[in-house]
Each structure stands twice: as C-alpha cells, then as structure tokens.
Amino acid sequence: MNSISEFIFESSERSDKNNNARKVLEQSIYDLINFEGYTIKNNKVSLLLDRVKLESSAELRVEDLYEEIKSKLGNQFYIKENFANSLGINWYFVVYRENEQSIILDMINAKRIARFQSYKDLAIWTQKFRDNRMTKKFNHTADLPKIDQRMREFDIPWPGNMDKALCLDNKVLAIIEFQNTDSEKRATVRQHDNNNFFKQDILRWKVLDQLRNHAGVPLLVIVWSETENIVGIKLVEDIIYFKSEKESPGIKWAIEPIYSNVKNIVSEIEEILNLKN
C-alpha cells in the first residue's frame, strides 16, 4: 500500500472527541480498546466488528490490507484478538469505499471472507449474526458517515458499538459505557439518572448486559459532561427488564454512584474494581 493516510477510521460516535474522562484513562497504565460494532444472537455475542473507509480506488491485496490495519492498531490488535478468542467468536473488519463496495476481513485468520457491491448487501449480511430487528425510524442522521446513513435507510443499522474496555496486560478488566449529559440543557452529572431513560434505551442496556455476561467482566457506566470537571462512576449489579412485586425495570447499581473530579477517575475505578492489590 502507498500510505496509511489512505485509511479513515470512521465512527458513528459523535461526542467522543470531547470526552475528557476517556482522555485521562488513556494516559494511565491501562489500555482502552473499543469495537465499532458487535452483534447478539441467542443471548450471546456472536461477532465483533470494526471498520475502515478506504480512500484509494486501486485494487489492493488482502494481505496488504490486513498488515496495514494490524500495523495501525499496534498493541490493540493483540488485545482485541485475545478478547475475541476468549469469547469464542470471530472479529471482522469491514473495509469499504465511498462507492459502497466492501470486503470483510477475518482479523484472526488473516483472510477475506466476503465481498459486497452495496451497503444494502452488507446490511443484509449482518442480519445472520443478530436477533434484534429495528422497528422504528431513525432521526438525526445527517452528520453520520454515509455507511451509517445508508444502512439505516434499509432499517438494518450498523450494529451498536462497545464504547471502551479497560485492559491491562492484554486482558479486558471491565466494559465501559460512557454516558454524555448536557449539564446546561438537561441534567448535571450528579443529576443524571440512567433509569429515567431506561424504557427508551432498553435495547441498548440489554445488549450491554449480554456482552458483560458473555465476557464475564464488570460493566462500568461513566457519566461525563463537556462543561463539568466532575464524572459519575457507576458499577452495574443487575439489569431488570420486567416489573415484579419486588422490583421495577431498570438498572441496579452494585454501589452508590461515585462523583469525583475527572483527574481522579483512574484511582476511583481501581478502588471500585479492586485493582490496587
């Protein structure tokens, strides 16, 4: 390949660049990884996905694409590979162009497994890995990458992402779900209550629940705001989906939420997860 600049790692995450909590964690001894998508089938994670937009119009060898992506990921490649292997599932990279052509690279076995001529064909292919079907139309898509816009047109959106996983020594220690709140228009970090939005976000919580259970690691929720230096750190104990005599639907926290200056986020997480010993 000519240059690594031919790659664009597009994402549907629109606020991540302003996430100071993530930036502090990235400067610590811990690694952070994410997956641009993951699918759920039969209550378990069935596939891990990443993606990259290819700017070059030239026909490129699969081996070159694979090695270039691997080089770009650095040590994250091995953490992601280990995580996929620990779940017993595949990790695929979708390499696509503006003209909607795409190929699927198996990152564990270093081979191409599929080629598509349109985003519609790609979207249909993803369906065999997931049970969930979308029943409502999407809003606010104009600022999303073209691949997201097009897949949503077919009511088969790009699978939801895994925000981050906290890692050490190539091992995933916890899944992190970042929640951004608008402190000036909606609620401050301290006021933000995930259960106020549980009903409309229930599918998001369900797949996160299935992810943490399959991976066998804790799920942390970190609430942050662009206008505050305070973060909220919450540890999920259980997620209740159906009302009973004893419980209402919502998220049960293992401990009282911790509110701290963002600069202390690493030590707070270490305390919650008992990582200091």
Contact 47, 207 (CB under 8 A): no
Who wins on pLDDT, 7 or 138?
7
Task: Please give the helix or strand (H or E) that residue 69 lies within, else none.
Answer: helix 62-73
One-letter amino acid of 225: S
Does residue 116 have a pLDDT over 80?
Answer: yes
Who wins on pLDDT, 58 or 182?
182
Confidence category of residue 60, pLDDT binned at 50, 70, 90: confident
Q: Give Cα separations from 128 to 25, 110, 124, 206 (angstroms).
A: 35, 22, 8, 19
Residue ranges of domains in the chain: 37-153, 162-273
pLDDT digits 0-9 by tens, 190-224: 999 999 989 999 999 999 999 999 999 999 999 99
Q: What is the mean pLDDT of residues 239-259?
A: 93
What is the distance between the alpha carbons of residues 37 and 159, in angstroms, rounded to a whole number? 5
Which one, of 38, 15, 25, 34, lies nearest residue 204 by Cα? 38
Lowest mean pLDDT among 4-8, 99-103, 120-124, 171-175: 4-8
For 245, how many CA atoms within 13 A lie in the half-sphere containing its CB? 0
Lowest mean pLDDT among 73-87, 139-153, 240-254: 139-153
Q: Residue 136 has what pLDDT?
A: 52
